[in-house]
DNA sequence: CGGAGGGGTACCTGGTCATC
DNA sequence: GATGACCAGGTACCCCTCCG
């Protein structure tokens, strides 16, 4: 089915320090961002193409497969995903003075984490389990390419809609295997089943509890907390993996057992956001290289196009 | 006694690095 | 260049202690 443009809307940026370019770049794929235009699938029928027409003036072209759509609802969801009204001034005060991340402030200031649906956040989380950044995002990219819906958007080109829980349920074993998910494929199947049975809700921004998620086999605290960060902008509990734990030990000279508590003490209710920021600031390089960079004080993204990093993922995959 | 919580370890899979 | 050993890293699970 064809997506036709139904409306062009202005998206108001309600904060001073917003960076569309950074927000669109971070952890994104080439079929969603091309350096200027950002594709945001809103629901089964609606896709939004966002562009910065002037500094902090965003324009959203709404594409739909159906005639009747609620434009104000789409605009509201687009604004929420982009975090254009998220005031982070308190967070900046900590960031500017933090010994690990302050050097990345100049480069990354203005960035927001793009909000996702719960389903999408769980897929991201499960693919990140026991995997390096590169490995995890390659898995996710394969999921998109193998099971997602390839769609052509005029003014952008080809994009891919994330496979739905139903798409995953219908996929063959072989198809899932070809996504190189390993043991994760059975977790993803189980998740898809929960969404299909409506035991999990995929409404954008709907609140969910960490405990509710960790009850699911295959979802532990890391994946649950990452899902809360991405799907609810809940930053109070941080998804701290061993990578970050070791980095905290090195950077702040605390013991491994105190690392998590220490991180929460520094960042308070923004601990989860700081976690994501740390991965971007250190280009998500593997632990040994990250520790090396901390020793050299290279705690900001290198911004080299040829590297595969959270900020340049869209140039490569 | 029973539940909560913490520690240790096995499991799994792709990445990395040393060795030939 | 091929091979194999080891590592990274999140979760599951078992066992232990603690506390009411």
Q: Is-contact A82 A114, C-beta < 8 A? A: yes
- CB count within 10 Å of CB A208 equals 17
Find, among A175, A117, A114, the residue nearest to A144 by Cα: A175
Q: Coil, strand, or helix at residue A58?
A: strand
Q: What is the pLDDT of residues A40-56, one digit of tens each?
A: 999 889 999 999 999 88
Q: How many CA atoms lie within 13 A of A194 on its CB side?
A: 20
Q: Is the pLDDT of residue A257 over 70?
A: no
Closest residue to B16 (CA to C1') is A286
Look over chain A and give the mean of its residue pLDDT values, rounded to a whole number. Answer: 86
Measured N-to-C along each axis, helices A221-232 and A118-128 cross at an angle, to the nearest 10 degrees, of 140
Left (φ > 0), alpha (ψ -120 to 50) or beta: where does A203 sit? beta
- The spacing between the Cα labelled CA in A221 and the C1' in C10, in angstroms, equals 9
Strand C neighbours with CB under 7 A?
Answer: A 125, 128-132, 214, 216-224, 241-243, 246, 286-288
Q: What is the pLDDT of residues A179-216, one digit of tens each?
A: 777 777 777 887 888 888 888 888 776 777 777 777 77
Separation CA A111–CA A62 (nearest Å): 23
pLDDT the model gives residue A1: 64
Which positions on chain C have an atom < 7 Å from some protein CB? 8-13
Which nt sits closest to A131, CA to C1'? C9
Which nt sits closest to A223, CA to C1'? C10
Beta strand segments in chain A, E: 4-11, 37-41, 46-54, 57-64, 149-153, 157-161
A256 touches strand B (CB under 7 A): no
Radius of gyration of chain A (CA): 19
Location of structure tokens 């693919």:
A127
What would the two tokens of residue A197 be? 């049975």
Mean predicted confidence (pLDDT) in A267-271: 88
A245 touches strand B (CB under 7 A): no
- The spacing between the Cα labelled CA in A37 and the C1' in C18, in angstroms, equals 57
Q: What is the pLDDT of residues A95-112, one digit of tens each?
A: 999 988 999 999 999 999
What would the two tokens of residue A144 be? 């998109």
A257 touches strand B (CB under 7 A): yes
Least confident of A104-113, A146-155, A271-280, A301-310: A301-310
Separation CA A306–CA A239 (nearest Å): 28
- The spacing between the Cα labelled CA in A65 and the C1' in B9, in angstroms, equals 52
- The spacing between the Cα labelled CA in A257 and the C1' in C14, in angstroms, equals 21
pLDDT the model gives residue A177: 67
What would the two tokens of residue A125 be? 């989380």
Question: Which 8-state DSSP code applies to residue A104?
Answer: G
Q: What is the pLDDT of residues A128-178, one digit of tens each?
A: 877 777 777 877 888 888 888 889 999 899 999 988 888 888 887 667 766
What would the two tokens of residue A249 be? 């030990």
pLDDT the model gives residue A141: 83
């Amino acid at each position: 089915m064809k997506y036709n443009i139904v409306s062009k809307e202005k998206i108001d940026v309600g904060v001073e320090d917003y960076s569309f370019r950074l927000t669109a770049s971070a952890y994104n794929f080439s079929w969603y961002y091309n350096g200027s235009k950002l594709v945001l699938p809103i629901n089964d029928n609606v896709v939004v193409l966002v562009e910065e027409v002037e500094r902090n003036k965003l324009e959203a072209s709404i594409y739909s497969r159906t005639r009747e759509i609620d434009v104000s609802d789409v605009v509201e969801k687009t604004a929420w995903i982009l975090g254009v009204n998220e005031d982070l001034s308190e967070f900046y005060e900590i960031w500017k003075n933090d010994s690990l991340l302050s050097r990345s402030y100049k480069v990354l200031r203005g960035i927001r984490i793009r909000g996702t649906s719960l389903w999408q956040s769980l897929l991201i989380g499960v693919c990140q389990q026991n995997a390096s950044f590169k490995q995890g995002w390659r898995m996710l990219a394969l999921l998109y390419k193998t099971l997602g819906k390839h769609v052509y958007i005029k003014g952008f080109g080809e994009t891919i809609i994330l496979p739905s829980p139903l798409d995953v349920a219908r996929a063959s074993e072989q198809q899932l295997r070809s996504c190189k998910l390993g043991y994760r494929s059975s977790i993803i199947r189980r998740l898809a089943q929960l969404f299909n049975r409506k035991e999990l809700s995929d409404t954008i921004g709907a609140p969910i509890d960490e405990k509710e998620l960790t009850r699911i086999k295959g979802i532990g605290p890391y994946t649950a907390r990452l899902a809360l960060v991405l799907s609810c902008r809940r930053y109070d509990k941080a998804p701290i993996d061993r990578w970050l734990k070791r980095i905290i030990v090195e950077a702040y000279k605390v013991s491994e057992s105190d690392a998590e508590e220490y991180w929460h003490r520094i960042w308070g209710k923004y601990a989860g956001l700081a976690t994501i920021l740390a991965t971007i600031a250190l280009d998500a390089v593997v632990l040994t290289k990250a520790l090396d960079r901390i020793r050299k004080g290279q705690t900001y993204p290198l911004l080299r196009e040829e590297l595969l990093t959270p900020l340049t993922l869209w140039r490569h995959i």
